[in-house]
C-alpha cells in the first residue's frame, strides 16, 4: 500500500540546479580538480553565459578548442544530462535580451554579402554596444565600491597590463596621475618590471588587467606583488581566471569579439569608471585644473 504521508518524488524533469547562477557556483567550487580541457570549458561557460544560450554544442566546442564530447563530459561532470540541459539553464531570464541581440547580429550577417567597410563598422559598433549593456546590467555595485575603497586606501598604486590589455594600462597611468596617489606603471619596457617591483611595499595596490589566454608577464608580476604583501585588484574576464584567484578584489569585463578581434570598449569604460570613482572618493577639485591641462 502506498504511504500517503511520504513526500512526493521530484519530477523527472527537475534540473539539479535552480538557475545558471547556482550551476556556476558549483563550477567555481569544483574548478581546481578539473582537467585542462574541462577548465577551458568552465572558463568559457563562466565568461560567455549569454552566448551559451544561443550557441550549439559544435560552436561552443570550437570556442573552447575542444571536441563536442568534452563539452558533454563537462555537463555530466556537474550532474547534468548533457549540453541541452546545461544550455537551458542559461536561457532563463535572458531570453528577451538574447533574442534582441541575436536578431541584430543576424541582420548584420545578412549584409555580409555586400561586404562594405561601413557594414563592418556597424557590426563592430554593435558588438561594443552589447558589451557595454552587459557591463551595465552585470556590474555588482558592492564589488565596484570595494575596488575603489581598496585603491583609495593604498599608499601607492601599481599598474600591469600587457598585450591586448596594454591600452587599458596606458589609460590608467594617464588618468591616475591626476590624483595625489603615487602611480607606477609596469609597462615592461626593457623587460625591467621585476626590478621595478623592488620598490613595491606591503599594502600597496597592484591593478592587474588581463584576459584569456592571460599574459604570462602579467601573471608573474601578480605573483611577485602578492608575495611582497601587496593587494591585487584584477580586471579580467572570468572569476575562474588565474588573476582572480590571487586578487583581493575582482571586476569583470567581457568584451565581445567581431571578426575574431575582441574590443576593449567595456574594459576601458570600467577603467575610466574606476578612476572617476577614486577621484570622487578623494574629493578632487576637477574645476580647478591648472592652465593648459585638460580634463581626463
List the domain boundaries for the chain: 20-91, 95-138, 141-286
Q: How far apart are CA 295 and CA 287, in angstroms?
A: 9
Compute the average pLDDT of residues 198-219: 90
Can you identify the CATH homologous superfamily of domain 141-286? Glucose-6-phosphate isomerase like protein; domain 1 (3.40.50.10490)
| Per-residue pLDDT at 287 | 44
- Total count of residues recorded for the chain: 296
The pLDDT of residue 87 is above 80:
yes
Q: How far apart are CA 189 and CA 100, in angstroms?
A: 44
| Per-residue pLDDT at 268 | 95
Segment 143-169, tens digit of pLDDT: 999 999 999 999 999 999 998 899 999
| Per-residue pLDDT at 284 | 52
| Per-residue pLDDT at 271 | 95
Task: Give yes or no for a contact between 130 and 124, defined as CB atoms under 8 angstroms apart.
Answer: no
Q: Is 217 exposed, middle or buried (0-12, 13-18, 19+ CB in 10 A)?
A: middle
Q: Which residue has the cell 606591503?
A: 202
Level-2 CATH architecture, domain 20-91:
Orthogonal Bundle (1.10)
Segment 41-80, tens digit of pLDDT: 998 888 877 778 778 889 889 888 899 999 999 999 989 9
- Give the CA count within 13 Å in the CB-facing half-sphere of 216: 1
Higher per-residue pLDDT: 160 or 240: 160
Q: How far apart are CA 187 and CA 160, in angstroms?
A: 6
Amino acid at each position: 500500500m502506498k504511504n500517503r504521508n511520504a513526500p512526493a518524488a521530484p519530477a523527472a524533469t527537475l534540473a539539479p540546479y535552480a538557475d545558471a547562477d547556482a550551476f556556476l557556483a558549483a563550477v567555481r567550487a569544483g574548478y581546481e580538480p578539473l582537467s585542462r580541457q574541462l577548465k577551458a570549458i568552465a572558463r568559457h561557460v563562466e565568461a560567455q553565459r549569454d552566448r551559451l544560450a544561443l550557441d550549439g554544442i559544435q560552436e561552443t566546442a570550437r570556442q573552447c578548442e575542444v571536441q563536442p564530447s568534452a563539452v558533454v563530459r563537462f555537463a555530466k561532470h556537474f550532474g547534468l544530462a548533457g549540453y541541452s540541459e546545461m544550455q537551458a539553464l542559461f536561457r532563463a531570464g535572458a531570453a528577451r535580451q538574447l533574442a534582441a541581440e541575436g536578431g541584430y547580429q543576424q541582420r548584420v550577417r545578412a549584409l555580409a554579402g555586400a561586404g562594405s567597410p561601413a557594414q563592418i563598422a556597424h557590426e563592430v559598433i554593435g558588438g561594443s554596444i552589447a558589451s557595454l549593456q552587459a557591463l551595465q546590467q552585470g556590474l555588482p555595485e558592492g564589488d565596484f565600491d570595494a575596488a575603489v575603497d581598496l585603491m583609495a586606501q593604498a599608499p601607492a598604486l601599481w599598474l600591469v597590463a600587457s598585450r591586448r590589455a596594454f591600452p587599458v594600462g596606458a589609460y590608467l597611468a594617464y588618468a591616475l596621475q591626476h590624483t595625489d596617489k603615487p602611480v607606477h606603471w609596469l609597462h615592461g619596457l626593457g623587460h625591467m618590471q621585476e626590478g621595478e617591483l623592488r620598490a613595491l611595499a606591503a599594502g600597496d595596490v597592484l591593478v592587474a588587467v588581463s584576459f584569456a589566454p592571460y599574459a604570462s608577464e602579467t601573471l608573474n608580476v601578480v605573483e611577485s606583488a602578492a608575495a611582497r604583501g601587496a593587494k591585487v585588484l584584477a580586471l579580467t574576464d572570468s572569476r575562474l581566471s588565474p588573476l582572480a584567484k590571487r586578487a583581493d578584489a575582482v571586476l569583470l569585463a567581457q568584451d565581445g569579439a567581431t571578426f575574431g578581434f575582441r574590443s576593449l570598449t567595456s574594459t576601458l569604460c570600467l577603467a575610466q569608471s574606476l578612476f572617476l570613482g577614486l577621484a570622487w572618493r578623494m574629493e578632487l577639485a576637477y574645476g580647478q585644473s591648472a592652465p593648459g591641462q585638460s580634463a581626463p
